[in-house]
Structure 1
Amino acid sequence: MSSPASTTESHSQLKAVGCLIGGISSFQIGATLAKGLFPLFGPTGMVGLRVCLAAVILLSIWRPTRGTLTVERVKLLLPYGASVAVMNFCFYVALVRLPLGVVVALEFTGPLTLALVGSRRWLDLCWAGLVVLGLFLLLRPEGATVGLSSLNLFGVAAALLSGCGWVVYILTGTRMGRMFPAPVATTLGMSTAAIILLPCLIPTIPTVLAHPWQGGAALSVAVLSSAVPYILDMMAMRNLSPRDLGILLSMEPMLGALSGFIFLHEALSIMRWMGVLCIAAASAGNVLTGRQKPLH
């Protein structure tokens, strides 16, 4: 029989897995809702609304105290916040031109490439090859009879640039996490991104006042795509190892494709579904076969 301590730990891990999957799902649902608001606000207006409203929500929950920021911390906060702004801006610019599943898969290649760079193991070369194969299947031209026509090149570039922003976010966010508690770091980063994206927000204010229901929907996007995922991620990280987190995050490209199919009726061809699957499999394989580092 299992001990009460092990049973409690198992329940905590199951709860953490549910939180992480809930956070990923919430982000994807928020993205589908945001895409439905593009005709009114446009992708740049939508990203301004989402990030700025999310910053207000986070600031209302976690308020940084005086003396939190020093010159050294500001130097790190600026690229961290800028990476949040670039990720969100480029993601929405790509989303108006490409299916959600393709955007998420292309963006996901950024952190996945970061994980594979510098590795000398032959198995990691296999995962890198799987990523290349996935990109080829996603980006190869297709006729209208197969499903989607050739992908918009500007949208592809924006999705890949969002992936580059994700890389900077990981590198700077790791250091931010050593300087601040996770909620404070997230709040500061989102607030910095909101300041950068203010030019995207200001033109939408008259539209929000004229269409309050759609403005409320934009607030829902901020909650679903930022506030809820961040809170659930924090809850999950308390009880899951980095390895388990990596495996679960590998589901994101597939969940993006499924969300686009279910909520936006974006039907990908079989080859592009295979491309998404290759990138998700490469991420999961890289985590499962990676060297285990001792916990300190």
Structure 2
Amino acid sequence: MSPPQTVQNDPRYGQTGAVLMLIGGISSFQIGAALAKGLFPVFGPEGMVGLRVGLAATILMMIWRPTRAQLTPRVLKLLIPYGASVAIMNFCFYVALTRLPLGMTVALEFMGPLSLALSGSRRWLDLLWVVLVVGGLFFLLRPEHALGPLDPIGVGAALFSGVGWVIYILTGTRIGKVLSPVTATSLGLATAAFFLLPWLIPALPVAVSHPEEGVLALCVAILSSAVPYILDMLAMRRLKPRDLGILLSMEPMLGAVSGLLLLHETLSVSRWIGVGCIVLASAGNVLTSRTTTPIETQPPPG
């Protein structure tokens, strides 16, 4: 007679814990984004993204130190576009946050990986997801007299952040074949911090002269990069790709809810419908995919 399973060894317990970790990682990112938006008056969006990426890279490099043997010419060649994509993704996301609500920014940014996931579609059913995406964009971007027109720079920055996310996925897939996810993300953030030095360096004296805001900037780096990455990495070891994809599909909706609860940013009914259309398109694509893969192979450090 086999011994009874303990709670810790129960597969159902492991999967439930993984789901909670992934939701916790997404929530931590949204809280960090909301906190960062409150620091824009002190550091500006450019300085804030420089501090966040730079501090997060420092934290991860202190925890997971890459060895010199891992920095081969092949790895260094891959790190340049990988780190650049991380820098673009974060920089444009924060620029968009100054002009758009958090939920709308996350939804528009999410168009990047969602478009990549749908680009290889060959079935009639996939047309439904494309229609939902187009409908979501229509509801999100159409002018509303009560709220005024959307800021075109904010919309462009959010969409360009999504382009950076696509480049991140494509380059991350390549670098993930030669490095572990931990090492790749640590080096990727460090490379991104190098690209963001023109904004990071001027923000450092401001952080020193404003210690309370400097500590909050460190919290943003932890909440938006270090904690989500660790939780997502642990969750991916236990979740199936389909489960992971479905949960990641909820990120635009969680962004809208976070904006409402933490920043008191309200969306109109039509824009809530737009966010919902994008969530449904992403979840539907994952659920009906024959070769189910998550939208990304590892969580973005953005």
Distance in 2 of aligned mates of 1:272 and 1:293: 29
Distance in 2 of aligned mates of 1:206 and 1:130: 47
- 8 Å contact 2:37–2:98 — kept in the other structure? yes
Describe the SS at the equivalent of 1:11: helix
Where does residue 94 of structure 2 map in the other structure?
Answer: 92
Distance in 2 of aligned mates of 1:122 and 1:8: 40
Where does residue 287 of structure 1 map in the other structure?
Answer: 286
Deviation at 1:293, TM superposition (A): 5.7
Deviation at 1:5, TM superposition (A): 8.4
Distance in 1 of aligned mates of 2:237 and 2:110: 24
Distance in 1 of aligned mates of 2:115 and 2:84: 20
Where does residue 198 of structure 1 map in the other structure?
Answer: 197
Deviation at 1:292, TM superposition (A): 3.2
Deviation at 1:69, TM superposition (A): 1.4
- 8 Å contact 2:241–2:292 — kept in the other structure? no
Gaps of 5+ in 2: 294-302
Where does residue 254 of structure 1 map in the other structure?
Answer: 253
Distance in 2 of aligned mates of 1:275 and 1:129: 12
Distance in 1 of aligned mates of 2:23 and 2:151: 30
Distance in 1 of aligned mates of 2:251 and 2:39: 22
Describe the SS at the equivalent of 2:247: helix
Describe the SS at the equivalent of 1:178: coil
TM-score, normalization: structure 2?
0.93
Where does residue 243 of structure 2 map in the other structure?
Answer: 244
Describe the SS at the equivalent of 2:145: coil
Identity over aligned pairs, percent: 67
Describe the SS at the equivalent of 2:70: coil
Gaps of 5+ in 1: none
Distance in 1 of aligned mates of 2:224 and 2:204: 20
Distance in 1 of aligned mates of 2:63 and 2:224: 16
Distance in 1 of aligned mates of 2:6 and 2:247: 24
Name the count of aligned residue pairs. 289
Q: 4+ runs of 1 displaced by more than 2 Å?
A: 3-7
Shift of the 4–292 alpha-carbon distance from structure 1 to 2, 3 Å rule, reads: farther
Q: How does 1:31-42 map to 2 (within 5 A)?
A: 31-42=33-44
One-letter identity of the residue aligned with 1:182: P
TM-score, normalization: structure 1?
0.95
